[in-house]
Amino acid sequence: MYGNAQENAQDLNVQELAASFDLEKLTSDFYVNPYPTYRALRETAPVKRMPNGSYFLTRYDDLVTAYKNTKAFSSDKKKEFAPKYGASLLYEHHTTSLVFNDPPIHTRVRRLIMGALSPRAIAEMEGDLIRLVDHLLDRISTRSEFDLINDFAAAIPIEVIGNLLGVPHEEREPLRDWSLAILGALEPVIGDLEALVERRRAKPGNPERDVLTRLIQGEADGEKLTAKELLHNCIFLLNAGHETTTNLIGNGLVTLSEQAGEKERLIAHPEMIKTAVEEMLRYESSNQLGNRMTVQPIELGGLALPAGTPITLCIGAANRDPAQFPDPEKFDIGRTPNRHLAFATGAHQCAGMALARLEGAIAISRFLARFPNYAINGEPVRGGRVRFRGFLSVPCVTGA
Ligand code: HEM
């Protein structure tokens, strides 16, 4: 009897959570823990209409369908952003970066960027990355208290992207602020990056290692980016690779500190770092939402969606879909297979995922080896955004 009453109450709660969900009106509880809502949506309204007419997708299989069908689900933002931003630099930026374009522009730009992020180029970064991480750990070890985000997680990707684009060390200070402020203030970035591009044009670096030189010189068949495409895609790289990777490292170490058993398991078995990083990406995906627009009528989850329907793809929900992941609410650093969608899939799958994985593995494994007894000793501050899930600050003690 009692069990039934409890189940009924839970059912009601699930219905209510799904029915009241509006991406434009989120509660503070949601920001702390969106997963009960995502679960309710997956179970009762997996293709959920939002009051603004867009649709919110939470099932793994539906996300894969949308990511893989680029003919029906477009990434091109020109129509959507033109009325929003007018003829501004912001409009120019968002409509020129590869992530918001369909073929043929997307195919051409992606080929050039993938060439610059080749496995060989990434393997060459490993030594610098280890030195950088160890240097940060040395600095932390001189103090008993530190901030996991500012003193560690955020300091890594900004240096890596700086190396990738060949930004001189003395000019890196503002990179993080630019990246965080990119939506509000593009102008200074354009000016300074333009100067950097001009210098590199006059004095090319090694195209095997230096992405900027590689992008300027283009492919052997003469395919090149225009000056504008080059600038906007460099800004996009700076943005794409910064906050997401900071959040992978930050979320990963916070999750481990909350899950003592899995933390001990990883300390005892450092060779599990690869599957552990995949599980961190799945369990607390740093990029929780993606967007597409239907460009032809399509049926999804039994609903007929007309062309021109904006779609939100909820990676955070799909990555906990029990139809794909057994016991999905469990954090299991040995989980295999783990075909999560943290980097999306299909034509736009993250171009920097090999680099992000390398950064995550080196940062987290070396941190754990150095400070196995680290602990959070204050109130972590969340970034307060639904798309990018992570922390602005996490006060910690080294425990050493
Ligand atoms: C944990 C870290 C990261 C996560 C979770 C992540 C996630 C994603 C996701 C979900 C997309 C697909 C966007 C869409 O089409 O809707 C994407 C695209 C992209 N990412 Fe990442 N990313 C990460 C790190 C990086 C890094 C380090 C770089 C580069 C240095 C990078 C470069 C890119 C680029 C260039 C694209 C666009 C690819 C395309 O449109 O073809 N990302 N990323």
Residue nearest to atom 3 of ligand 1 (CA): 244
Q: Does any ligand 1 atom lie closer than 6 A to the CB of residue 110? A: yes
Q: What is the pLDDT along the chain (400 residues), one digit of tens a residue?
A: 445 666 666 776 889 999 999 999 999 899 999 999 999 999 999 999 999 999 999 999 999 999 999 999 999 999 888 888 777 777 888 888 899 999 998 998 898 888 878 888 888 889 999 999 999 999 999 998 999 999 999 999 988 988 887 777 777 766 666 665 554 434 444 566 677 778 888 888 877 667 778 778 875 556 778 878 887 888 888 888 888 999 999 999 999 999 999 999 999 999 999 999 999 999 999 999 999 999 999 999 899 999 999 999 999 999 999 999 999 999 999 999 999 999 999 999 999 999 999 999 999 999 999 999 999 999 999 988 899 999 999 999 999 8
Q: Does any ligand 1 atom lie closer than 6 A to the CB of residue 241? A: yes
Residue nearest to atom 41 of ligand 1 (CA): 348
How far apart are the C-alpha atoms of 214 and 166, rounded to whole Å?
Answer: 11
How far apart are the C-alpha atoms of 212 and 232, rounded to whole Å?
Answer: 12
Other Cβ atoms within 10 Å of 385 Cβ, number: 12
Q: Cα separations (Å) of 299 from 33, 66, 159, 270, 362?
A: 31, 11, 44, 46, 43
How far apart are the C-alpha atoms of 266 and 268, rounded to whole Å?
Answer: 5
Asked if residues 45 and 301 have their Cβ atoms less than 8 Å apart, the reply is no
Q: Cα separations (Å) of 183 from 73, 99, 235?
A: 25, 16, 11
Q: Does any ligand 1 atom lie closer than 6 A to the CB of residue 350? A: yes
**pTM recorded for the entire structure:** 0.92
Q: Does any ligand 1 atom lie closer than 6 A to the CB of residue 129? A: no
Residue nearest to atom 6 of ligand 1 (CA): 343
Q: Does any ligand 1 atom lie closer than 6 A to the CB of residue 245? A: yes
**Cα 351 to ligand 1 centroid, rounded to whole Å:** 6
For the range 266-275, what are the long-range contacts, defined as Cβ-Cβ under 8 Å and sequence gap of 24 or more? 266/333, 266/368, 267/368, 267/369, 267/372, 270/365, 270/368, 270/369, 272/333, 272/334, 273/361, 273/364, 273/365, 274/357, 274/361, 275/333, 275/334, 275/335, 275/336, 275/338
The tokens describing 295, both together, are: 């460009």
How far apart are the C-alpha atoms of 94 and 85, rounded to whole Å?
Answer: 10
How far apart are the C-alpha atoms of 165 and 211, rounded to whole Å?
Answer: 6
* Helix 260-268, helix 353-370: angle, nearest 10: 90
The tokens describing 283, both together, are: 């369990």
Q: Does any ligand 1 atom lie closer than 6 A to the CB of residue 158? A: no
* Substitution site in 350, 358, 388, 389 for ligand 1 pocket (most atoms within 8 Å of beta carbon): 350
Q: Does any ligand 1 atom lie closer than 6 A to the CB of residue 67? A: no
In what helix (H) or strand (E) does residue 311 lie, and over which residues does it extend? strand 310-314
Q: Does any ligand 1 atom lie closer than 6 A to the CB of residue 248? A: yes
Nearest to 291 by CA among 47, 34, 52, 75: 75
